[in-house]
Structure 1
Amino acid sequence: MVFHSPNFLVFFGLLLLLFLFVKKWRLAILAAGNIWFYGSSGLGMLAVFVAVTALVFLAVHGMQRPGFRWLYIVGLVVPILNLVCFKYTLLLLETWGSLTGLPLGPMEQFASSLVLPVGISFYTFQLLAYLIDVRRGELEPTRSFFRFWVFISLFPQLIAGPIMRGKELMPQVDAIQEKSIRWQEIKYGMYLFFVGLAKKILIADPLSLEVNEWFAQGAAMSSTDAWLAAYGFGFQIYFDFSAYSDMAIGLGWMLGFRLIENFRSPYISADPSEFWRRWHISLSRWIRDYVYIGLGGNRKGAARTHLNLLAAMLISGLWHGAMWTFVLWGGLHGLLLILHKLTLKLNRWNWVERLRSFWLYRVVAVAVFFHVVTWTWVFFRAQDFTLAMDMTAKMLAVDWLALWQTPMFMLMVGLYALHLFEYGLRTKEALFSRVWHWVPFPIRGVVYAGFVLAILYMLRGETYDFIYFQF
């Protein structure tokens, strides 16, 4: 069940009415709603999800008893094995077959038949974070499996995040039955939901048609097409994934939950560190806190710090998908982070630090780094390594003047301008709201109606799942 489907809108409307007016049963309503929402993807997937959640819950409580600390390892292994089995079995078998030359036959057929449970990467990371936080003493575990289930399976963020920590969301779950939800919160949640819906339906989905056509050319694409394909996918994945996050956060507001911000205008970043503070924020901090710091962080010298960074980003790439191109994409970002750390040593010269604080330097740095990120998206989207390298070679040899003169390039400029507008809107949201409410209500009503009608019209055609559903 996807957020931009009529089925979901009916489901959520009924659930919200029950949630608001039957206050003492809120937790039960959420628990049942989570089961219904996830179960619509398949009862087998639901059974696996419930089983893994229950085993981690038992491990969390069992490992605190004397002589049972080994259950912590069990709690780690169960969700990781579940993820590996469904997501990486085929990749591992194909890699083993290519290295050894041995025929795999039935094993490969079995692996190909496995259906990836929706949201498996996200709920796996949320379960692992909860387990590790309890082990570190940063979180007191709940004694109620019922509440734990509501926390892990909360449907607004279940399928594609944001990835929430126990200390952030469990207190909200515990307090939800007593929480008073004001009309202003519901209205703000509706605003975020419809902003996300517009980004998905009006921008990401139409753009995906163009991107698919560019990449479908394969090695036949020109250097101009290679850049347009990379630009297009960069904007498609941003508007698609940030749309889901906006809608999830908006649903949370309407239900009285505060989910964390997952995107903060990433394409205005001037360097890789800033990019990962703005892009998929919940995953970035998960990788930082549980992989990078877990490996030692920056506590064991410069060489080990760089190695830890690279390892963390390789894992981030592998998390995104069962293809070696994803691992390479993560590795490229790891190398960019290492290079950036090395260049920070130049700040010991005062003139370098002053130059980097100058506004014109930032403009140039943003423009350059945006194109570097655009190039890395090629490895994320290309069907294989050969195509990614072919596109890279063509992008290096592009005729920039010819590219800038194409009508589609002006579309990309317009999408970047829209990205900048969204940044201004989010940073000055209160001011924009006051100005907007100075507009007479009849005019605002016409705009609202036109906006809703445009979305409904687009929903009549073919719609697409969110990109991150496959992860």
Structure 2
Amino acid sequence: MVFHSPNFWIFFALLFIGYALFRKARIAILAIGNVIFYAASGWGMLAVFLFVTIATFLCVHGMKKSRWLFWVGILLNIANLVFFKYTLFLLDTLKEITGLSVGIYDSLASSIILPVGISFYTFQLLSYLIDVRRGDIVPTTSLVRFWVYISLFPQLVAGPIMRGDELIPQLDEIQQKKLRWSEIKYGLFLFVVGLLKKIALADPIAEIVNPLFAKGDAISSVESWIAAYGFGFQIYYDFSAYSDMAMGLGCILGIRLILNFDTPYLSASPTEFWKRWHISLSRWIRDYIYIGLGGNRKGPIRVQFNLLAAMLISGLWHGAMWTFVVWGGVHGLLQIVHKWSLKLNRLGWVEQLRKSKVYRVFAVLVFFHVITWTWVFFRAQSIGQAWDMTVKMIQMPMLELLKHPELVWMAALFLLHIVEYFIRHYEHKASKLWHYVPFPVRSAAYVLIVLVIFYLQKGEAYDFIYFQF
């Protein structure tokens, strides 16, 4: 089920009624609701998910006496992810390197189906195992609570990736939690914002972007930039839409999920970008990969290696294609170069310049275009296509781009991104200002939004991009 479908709205309405009426049964209601939600993607996928969850729970509680069970849990989760997500990728790579035909490839290609949300729930299970091993959290003794933590339907399919100490304590108190109208209203606001991002922005942008990337080698230099701009906004509005809707559903249920996006295209550096883009994944990679490899504790050369390795893994996490690996590697190199550039701050005038607002604006605009270029590798069907578009983007005549009619829409989307920044960072003030508007006017606006949603729902609906990861 997808959040922007009538089936989901009916599912959530029925679940919420039971959730609100029967406090003592809330954990059971969520547990059953998660099963129903995930079963909609396939009973086989649900069986795999349940098996891995139960096995991990048993490993967590057995590793106090048998420490080797920690590695059993780690290997089980990694093997599950690798089998379903990377088997065909590895066999295909082997075939290209050796030139040998792998007989089992065709049968596997027709039988392996990627379980929905496997990358997200695998990282959540791995972090739980590691946190318990480190002594950062005390494991829950309730298998049902553990299942609800891992499979909580608002964030199950595309995050945010929650830690055990962030979500399980909330579940422990869920029966005593009083549902407040203020939280329900805020949750509805977030859900509607996410819904509008998805159906009014991300999906229409896809109708521009998809035909351009489908042109392959025939795409022009100007179209390459428009496709890159468009996909950058498409993936942002699509993924942040899901995250907003997930946070909104959580608020309605009295559960706080972490913020996953903070207007990332207003970042002035690679480091800042990854603090504002897919925040839950960024901190997972930092805490369990980068720091696990040694972080910045083992000298400058090792720091650069750790950064590059962490971003390569991040790229591979996104998809079983070499384009994703290159995309992650490019971001790793960008972070390394940025760290090198920080040494220039030893010069006082450089440090002062970087603190100025003029430099900030300039850096944001430049880095936005760097990020825009990197999206070509994320979206392209092959490294060859991405490289061809890169060459064309470098050779692009600036005047032709400025004359292109779609550029106006791209500029408008960037301005909307700036507006979103102010609304998010001055949310309380914006809310107060909105409530100064007379009630009849506000009511008319709410009715108009509902009508717009129903009207846009009639068009072609696209799945969320991150469902494939």
Deviation string for 1:160-200 (max 9, x for gaps)? 00000001101001110111110010010000000000000
Select 2:176's aligned residue among 167, 175, 178: 178
Report the Cα distance in structure 2 between the residues aligned to 1:105 and 1:225, rounded to whole angstroms.
40
- Tell me the distance in 2 between the aligned counterparts of 1:74 and 1:108: 30
Pairwise mapping of residues 423-442 of structure 1 onto structure 2 (< 5 A)?
423-442=421-440
Q: Which amino acid is the alignment partner of residue 387 of structure 1?
A: Q
Report the Cα offset of residue 111 of structure 1: 3.4
Partner of residue 246, structure 1: 244
Q: Which residue of 130, 133, 136 corresponds with 1:138?
A: 136
Counterpart for residue 89 of structure 1: 87
Alpha-carbon distance between aligned partners in 1 of 2:88 and 2:138, rounded to the nearest angstrom: 38
Deviation of the 1:121 alpha carbon: 0.2
Partner of 1:235 in structure 2? 233
Worse-superposed segment, 431-440 or 232-241:
431-440
In the alignment, what sits opposite 2:284? 286
What's the TM-score, normalizing by structure 1? 0.99
Q: Where does residue 392 of structure 1 map in the other structure?
A: 390
C-alpha contact 1:94 1:108 (8 A) present in aligned 2: no
Distance in 2, Cα, partners of 1:24 & 1:460: 39
2:162 aligned residue: 164
Aligned counterparts of 2:392 and 2:181: Cα–Cα separation in 1: 54
Which amino acid is the alignment partner of residue 284 of structure 2?
A: W
Q: CA deviation at 1:106?
A: 2.8
Amino acid at match of 2:12: F
The structural deviation recorded for 1:113 is 2.9
Match of 1:356 in 2: 354
Asked if 1:62 is matched to 2:38, the reply is no
Supply the AA of the counterpart residue of 2:151: S
Quote the Cα distance in structure 2 between the aligned partners of 1:452 and 1:442: 15
Q: What residue number does 1:17 align with?
A: 17
Contact 1:314-1:327 at 8 Å conserved across structures: yes
4+ aligned runs moved over 2 Å, structure 1: 105-109
State the match for 1:147 in structure 2.
Answer: 145
Q: 2:445 matched to which residue of 1? A: 447
Secondary structure class of the residue paired with 2:141:
coil
Aligned 8 A contact 1:298 1:304 in 2: yes
What residue is the counterpart of 2:298 in the other structure?
Answer: 300
For 1:168, give the aligned amino acid: E
Partner of 1:462: 460
Secondary structure class of the residue paired with 1:352: helix
Residue 17 of structure 1 and its aligned partner are, at CA, apart by 1.0
For residues 27-81 of structure 1, the C-alpha deviation after alignment (integer angstroms, 9 at most, x for no partner) is: 000000000000111000000000000011011011111xx11001001011110
Partner of 1:51: 51
C-alpha displacement at 1:109, in angstroms? 3.0
The separation in 1 between residues aligned to 2:106 and 2:267, in whole angstroms, is 42
Structure 1 residue 110 displacement after superposition: 1.1
Aligned partners of 2:119 and 2:194: how far apart in 1? Answer: 22
Q: Secondary structure at the match of 1:88?
A: helix
CA contact (8 A) 1:224 1:395 kept: yes
Structure-1 separation of matches of 2:94 and 2:214: 28
| Aligned counterparts, 1:366-377, within 5 A | 366-377=364-375
Letter in 1 for 2:270: P
Equivalent residue, structure 1, for 2:38: 38
Contact 1:122 1:160 in 2 (8 A): yes
Other-structure match for 2:323: 325
SS of the residue corresponding to residue 436 of structure 2 reads: coil
CA drift at 1:100: 1.1
2:20 partner letter:
L
**Distance across 2 between alignment mates of 1:89 and 1:112:** 12
Give the Å deviation of 1:441.
0.9
- Normalised to the residue count of structure 2, the TM-score between the two structures is 0.99
Letter in 2 for 1:465: D
User: 1:188 maps to what in 2?
Assistant: 186
The equivalent residue for 1:200 is: 198
Distance 1:342 1:112, change over 3 A: farther
Q: SS at the partner of 1:322?
A: coil
Partner of 1:224 in structure 2?
222
Structure 2 stretches of 5 or more lacking a match? none
8 Å Cα contact 1:90-1:108 kept in structure 2: no
Alpha-carbon offset, residue 112 of structure 1 = 4.4
Aligned sequence identity (%): 64
Aligned partners of 2:176, 2:150: CA distance in 1, in Å? 20
What displacement does 1:462 show? 1.5
307, 310, 335: which one aligns with 1:309: 307
Query: How many Å apart are 1:107 and its aligned residue?
Result: 2.9
SS at match of 2:206: helix
Q: How far apart are residue 275 of structure 1 and its match?
A: 0.1
Query: Within 2, Cα distance between the matches of 1:203 and 1:183?
Result: 29
Question: How far is the alpha carbon of 1:314 from its aligned partner?
Answer: 0.1
**Are 2:380 and 1:382 equivalent residues in the alignment?**
yes
CA distance in 2, matches of 1:265, 1:371: 15
Q: Which amino acid aligns with 2:99?
A: G
